[in-house]
Amino acid sequence: MTAATTAPVRDEDDDRAPESGDPFDQDRLPTPPGATGTLLRSLLAPMRGRVAVTALLLLLQQAAVQAGPLLVAYAIDRAVPAFRGDDNGPLTAVAVGYLLCAVAAGALQYAFVTASARVSQDVLLDLRGRIFRHAQELSVDFHERYTSGRLISRSTTDVESLRELLEEGLQELVMVILSAVYISVLLLWLDLGLGAVAVASFVPLYLLVRSYRRRAARVYRKRSTAIAAVIVKFVETMNGIRPVRAFRREAANDADFAVLNRRHERTNGDALLEMARYVVGSRVTANTTVALIVLWGAYRVADGSLELGVLAAAVLYLRRLYDPIDRLGMFLNSYQSAAASLEKIAGLLAQTPSVPEPASPRELPERRSGLPGREVVFDDVRFAYRTGGEVLPRFDLTLPAGQTVAVVGSTGAGKSTLAKLLARFYDPTDGRVLLDGVDLRDLPGRGLRREVVMVTQEAFLFSGTVAENIALGRPDATRAEIEQAAKEIGAHDFIAALPDGYDTDVRKRGGRISAGQRQLVSFARALLADPAVLILDEATSSLDVPGERAVQRAMATVLKGRTAVVIAHRLSTVEIADRVLVMERGRIVEDGSPSELIDRTGRFADLHRAWRDSLA
Ligand SMILES: Nc1ncnc2c1ncn2[C@@H]1O[C@H](COP(=O)(O)OP(=O)(O)O)[C@@H](O)[C@H]1O
Ligand SMILES: [Mg+2]
């Protein structure tokens, strides 16, 4: 997330620059070859039958529509002469036939549009669900690389462009192509010469469409990058609105945003320009062809080698053929951007979690009675993030079940990394993390989440009531159990004082609940979840000092009966630990009980002395 907020915004159009040079593209997920096709097939597979019915409806509808000019030709060349000869049968037949075709075409079109709308709505529903579920299941390290703004862009802009194609473009595109085939065949059958001229006009039109598609593809890719950049900037600024205000970043953000907004505007302009070029080209081609056919046809009617009705039908067909060609450009646009969107979505969906579920999961042995908690072992662990050097070089650590361990050390020492490995947000690069002898990689995700709970400084509250937020740790908890947990933590009084007590909505990110209170709520949540291993990563940092004694009590309550890792920011919390680890650069440099370490002459003794002096 930080990468994009601090990345410089560049304002030049860089056709030649590699894509990775774009600050918003640097973490582009390469879509594996074939992933887009696989996605499309898997979306359509469940509705194969309905797709077939839809296609059949379209074939019939086009047959009914294209019968019209043929009937006109028949009327002019046969029925009208017959009518002059006092036989009104053929003309009546033509009129009735024309009417029937028109009614049938209308009814079939209605059926087709309805059927295809149902198919596309189901496809979109499925796709939105898949994006959400998949993104939620991807590992933490994915979300650290792929910003939430980009995820939002996938599930809004990209799904939206697919929706546009499916709802507006695709049906028309298929209709246009299908009618072009029908009309070509009919024209060739009516008159080989005229048909050949019409078919020949497809060559320049095809070249025009091809060059337009190529140019539009480039413009559209740029445009979708530009739109994504605008969204990313917007979401990140608003997510970070407090620091934005605190550091008076508004003006700088305005300037950055203006640049992105302009870039978006310019790409839009480019897209429209390409469109205009295409429309002009296609109209000139179409009108030239019609003029040629009328001219040549008139000569041939004059010398008797062509019937008038056939010429009339040919001109009617040509109009039908060329009319939608302007719009074809538009459909191709939405097709183009939808294809690009689908590709990006496929890239996202093709991501596999870097912390995969075990192929053959193992169950943990029953939690031992008498000895609460579980034993934690870091066995020869090494760890490096995707970027940067090794954070934990060869790390060995055994935490006996039920022990409370405080971890201290300077910022960047690797304390949070240790916690994240234990909660399996990441897997070690090398070595194993064991819970009661079982590798975390062999535990099913659900089971692991029950066993290991991490409370962090953020103390995130989800939208919903306070009670729901506490119950998150154990969804089947009763109200009495929820209140009991809050009481034990010392959160009951402030919750009871909220407007609706436990039913108070914490929306707006707990805006009405202070950071310290949020931490108490997340303590109550952890207590209710009753995990075997609890990790507190600077989880008391927002609790105010006057509440110190209450904090100590809350800590003692929540830590009792489990293995606990307390990453402590303040040394007062260390005193309740059985054991203290001092970490530096990914290594444990001191290890002992608090009193032992205070008596020694190490880092911890220094820290402790400094802290005591600061209290005096
Ligand atoms: N997601 C990440 N990607 C790359 N490097 C990271 C990431 N998180 C932390 N680091 C690096 O790992 C080292 C240890 O960080 P961390 O475990 O958060 O330290 P602590 O919690 O002790 O302050 C630091 O050098 C930090 O820059
Ligand atoms: Mg940390």
Residues 265 and 186 in one domain: yes
Q: Is residue 354 part of a domain?
A: no
Same domain, 259 and 397: no
Domain coverage including residue 515: 376-615
Q: Would you state the pLDDT for residue 17? A: 31
Helix (H) or strand (E) holding 262: helix 250-302
Does one domain contain both 429 and 555?
yes
Co-location of 438 and 312 in the same domain: no
CA distance 27 to 21: 10
Please check whether residues 432 and 341 belong to one and the same domain.
Answer: no
Strand order in the sheet with 430-435: 390-399, 376-384, 430-435, 438-439
pLDDT average, residue stretch 560-571: 86
Nearest partner of 458 among 388, 522, 394, 370, judged by Cα: 522
pLDDT number for residue 616: 65
Q: Is the pLDDT of residue 73 over 80?
A: yes
Average pLDDT (123-147) is 84
Q: Which helix (H) or strand (E) holds 565?
A: strand 563-567
Residue 25: the pLDDT is 43
- Residue 11 predicted with pLDDT over 50: no
> Residues 32-68: pLDDT tens digits?
888 888 898 898 888 899 989 999 999 999 999 989 8
Q: Look at phi and psi of residue 581 and say left if phi exceeds 0, alpha if psi is from -120 to 50, else beta.
A: beta
C-alpha–C-alpha distance, residues 469 and 315, integer Å = 70
When computed from its CA atoms, the radius of gyration of the chain, rounded to whole angstroms, is 35
Q: Is the pLDDT of residue 136 over 70?
A: yes
Q: Are 467 and 504 found together in one domain?
A: yes
- 50 is a domain residue: yes
Asked if 472 and 601 sit in the same domain, the reply is yes
Residue 416 CB–ligand 1 contact under 6 Å: yes
The count of structural domains within the chain is 2
pLDDT value for 269: 93
Protein residue whose Cα sits closest to atom 20 of ligand 1: 412
Nearest residue (CA) to ligand 1, atom 12? 391
What separation in Å is there between the alpha carbon of 416 and the centre of ligand 2?
Answer: 4
pTM: 0.70
Residues 303 and 420 in one domain: no
Query: Which pLDDT score, from 0 to 100, does residue 370 have?
Result: 60
Mean pLDDT across the stretch 252-259? Answer: 92
Q: Is the pLDDT of residue 547 over 70?
A: no
Distance 417 CA to ligand 1 centre (A): 6
Check whether residue 473 and residue 538 sit in a common domain. Answer: yes
Q: Does ligand 1 lie within 6 Å of residue 389's CB atom?
A: no
Ligand (nearest to CA of 583): 1
Q: With bands split at pLDDT 50, 70 and 90, how would you rate the model's confidence at 327?
A: confident
Mean pLDDT of 422-446: 93
Environment class of 47 (CB within 10 Å of its CB; exposed 0-12, middle 13-18, buried 19+): middle
Asked whether residue 48 is domain-assigned, the answer is: yes
CATH number, domain at 300? 1.20.1560.10
Residue 6 lies in a domain: no
- At residue 408, φ and ψ (nearest 5 deg) are -125, 165
CATH number at residue 495: 3.40.50.300
Is the domain of 310 the same as that of 384?
Answer: no
Same domain, 65 and 118: yes
- C-alpha–C-alpha distance, residues 9 and 29, integer Å: 21
Whether residue 2 is contained in a domain is answered as: no
Query: Residue 208 Cα, ligand 1 centroid: separation in angstroms?
Result: 54
Of residues 133, 32, 36, the one with CA closest to residue 345: 36
CA distances from 7 to 21, 50, 247 (A): 11, 48, 17
Q: For residue 114, what are the contacts with CB-CB under 8 A and spacing of at least 6? A: none
More confident call, 8 vs 308: 308
Q: Mean pLDDT lowest for which of 184-193, 400-409, 594-603? A: 594-603
260: pLDDT strictly greater than 90: yes
Q: Is the pLDDT of residue 273 over 80?
A: yes
Does some domain include residue 9? no
Residue 72 and residue 142 in one domain: yes
Q: How many CA atoms lie within 13 A of 64 on its CB side?
A: 17
The rounded distance, in Å, linking the Cα atoms of 151 and 235 is: 11
Mean pLDDT of the chain: 84
Cα separation, 576 vs 592, whole angstroms: 13
pLDDT at position 108 = 95
Going from the C-alpha of 225 to that of each of 18, 26, 215, 502, the distances in angstroms are 14, 11, 16, 44
Ligand 1 pocket member 136 (CB < 6 A): no
Position 544 confidence tier, pLDDT thresholds 50, 70, 90: low
182-209 mean pLDDT: 90
543 within a domain of the structure (yes/no): yes
Closest atom of ligand 1 to CA, residue 387: 4
Which pLDDT belongs to residue 368?
A: 64
pLDDT tens track for 471-511: 987 888 999 999 999 999 889 998 998 888 898 888 754 45
Q: Whose CA is nearest to atom 24 of ligand 1?
A: 412
Residue 597 lies in a domain: yes
Asked if pLDDT for residue 291 goes beyond 90, the answer is yes
2 CB within 6 A, ligand 1: no
At 7 the pLDDT is 35
Picking from 29, 45, 27, the residue whose alpha carbon sits closest to that of residue 37 is: 45
Whether 19 shows a pLDDT value over 50: the answer reads no
Q: For residue 203, is pLDDT > 60?
A: yes
CB 574 within 8 A of CB 401: no
